[in-house]
């Protein structure tokens, strides 16, 4: 169950990266903050891959690997932009809850594109955990604005598509253990994303490029956390269907609610408590199913 530990580490690191990126959005804009995770994450991935190459053979990507990686890279760039736009919306809780419906999309798309087993029990566990997130968000749906909701749905769907692309690229590699496969695809993907974002900023948004350069310390921190989180996401994708990884990651919602109650003294409503229970039930069911496979 290495994928379980990898997913929990990735979710924790991603929380820190999201906070860093959210702060950057106000200073350097959505495009600049989106580019940071790729441009500053790439050097860390290159160093890690170079060190791994001392002991392990790096598998050579073929056309299928590059195709899947490109699909995942493009979808993740777009998803990150929509996520940052969502963070600026007034209906943040609503949009975030909708963005967390990603595991349902992932399970369905993974079954279609990668022929991964779905099954009624696994799908039920994913739906239960996702419903729990919607309830635990505490969002006031009657006040939901259309634009934040659309941004949240788009971000969730695109993150799901990116995960399918990354897992497809990892599985398409001709050789290598799970760690080197994950690190190889991560480096390839970040190289594509960093190149695309730099070309775009030089061509159309030089103000964002200047903002990144001026705010390089915060950008470096966000990139490092992003690269670290992505490596563990990819390790999870190498070992189990992406929907399993993203469903388990929903437990971060429970952790966040507990933290807000303990540290910030925020009251947890009965509906939110019910949502957290559903998340735990769904994740526990998923782990039980995965343990039997």
In sequence order, which residues have a C-beta less than 8 Å from that of residue 55 and are 6 or more positions away? none
What's the number of domains the chain is made of? 1
Q: Is 267 inside any structural domain?
A: no
d(CA 274, CA 278): 6
Range of the domain at 43: 2-127+142-246
Mean pLDDT across 62-91 = 83
User: Taking all residues of the chain, what is their mean pLDDT, rounded to a whole number?
Assistant: 83
Indicate the pLDDT class of residue 264, thresholds 50, 70 and 90.
Answer: very low
Q: Is 135 inside any structural domain?
A: no
Angle among Cα 198, 153, 35 to the nearest 5 degrees reads: 15
What are the tens digits of pLDDT across the range 13-49?
A: 887 777 777 678 778 887 888 888 899 999 999 999 9
Which range, of 51-55, 106-110, 141-145, 272-276, averages the lowest pLDDT? 141-145
Q: Is 48 inside any structural domain?
A: yes
How crowded is residue 270: how many other Cβ atoms within 10 Å of its Cβ? 8
Q: Is 286 inside any structural domain?
A: no
Indicate the pLDDT class of residue 154, thresholds 50, 70 and 90.
Answer: confident
Q: Is 274 inside any structural domain?
A: no
Which range, of 95-99, 164-168, 260-264, averages the lowest pLDDT? 260-264
d(CA 101, CA 97): 7
Best-predicted range by mean pLDDT among 30-39, 40-49, 242-251, 259-268?
40-49
Mean pLDDT across 162-178 = 94
Q: Is 137 inside any structural domain?
A: no
Which range, of 54-68, 139-153, 217-231, averages the lowest pLDDT? 139-153
Best-predicted range by mean pLDDT among 123-132, 180-189, 208-217?
180-189
pLDDT at residue 144, rounded to an integer: 60
Q: Is 19 inside any structural domain?
A: yes
Mean pLDDT across 99-121 = 81
- pTM of the model as a whole: 0.84
Mean pLDDT across 255-273 = 61
pLDDT at residue 256, rounded to an integer: 62
pLDDT at residue 263, rounded to an integer: 45
Tell me what percent of the residues of the chain surpass a pLDDT of 90. Answer: 36
| Structure tokens that stand for 280 in this block | 């735990």
In sequence order, which residues have a C-beta less than 8 Å from that of residue 105 and are 6 or more positions away? 156, 157, 160, 161
What are the tens digits of pLDDT across the range 43-70?
A: 999 999 999 999 999 999 999 999 999 9
Q: Is 259 inside any structural domain?
A: no
């Amino acid at each position: 169950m290495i994928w379980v530990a990898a997913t929990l580490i990735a979710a924790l690191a991603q929380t820190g990266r999201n906070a860093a990126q959210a702060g950057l959005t106000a200073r350097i804009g959505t495009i600049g903050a989106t580019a940071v995770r790729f441009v500053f994450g790439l050097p860390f991935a290159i160093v890690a891959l170079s060190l791994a190459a001392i002991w392990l053979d790096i598998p050579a990507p073929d056309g299928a690997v590059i195709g899947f990686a490109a699909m995942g890279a493009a979808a993740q760039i777009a998803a990150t932009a929509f996520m940052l736009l969502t963070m600026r919306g007034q209906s943040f809780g609503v949009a975030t809850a909708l963005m967390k419906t990603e595991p349902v999309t992932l399970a369905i798309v993974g079954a279609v594109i990668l022929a991964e087993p779905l099954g009624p029990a696994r799908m039920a566990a994913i739906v239960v955990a996702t419903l729990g997130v919607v309830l635990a968000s505490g969002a006031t749906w009657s006040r939901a604005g259309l634009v934040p909701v659309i941004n949240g749905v788009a971000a969730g769907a695109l993150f799901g598509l990116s995960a399918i692309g990354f897992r497809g690229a990892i599985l398409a590699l001709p050789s290598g253990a799970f760690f080197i496969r994950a690190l190889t695809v991560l480096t390839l993907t970040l190289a594509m994303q960093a190149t695309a974002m730099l070309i775009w900023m030089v061509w159309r948004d030089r103000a964002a490029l200047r903002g990144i350069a001026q705010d390089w310390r915060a950008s470096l921190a966000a990139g490092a956390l992003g690269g670290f989180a992505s490596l563990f996401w990819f390790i999870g994708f190498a070992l189990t269907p992406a929907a399993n990884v993203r469903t388990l990651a929903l437990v971060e919602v429970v952790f966040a609610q507990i933290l807000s109650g303990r540290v910030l003294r925020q009251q947890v409503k009965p509906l939110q408590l019910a949502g957290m229970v559903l998340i735990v039930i769904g994740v526990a069911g998923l782990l039980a199913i995965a343990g039997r496979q």
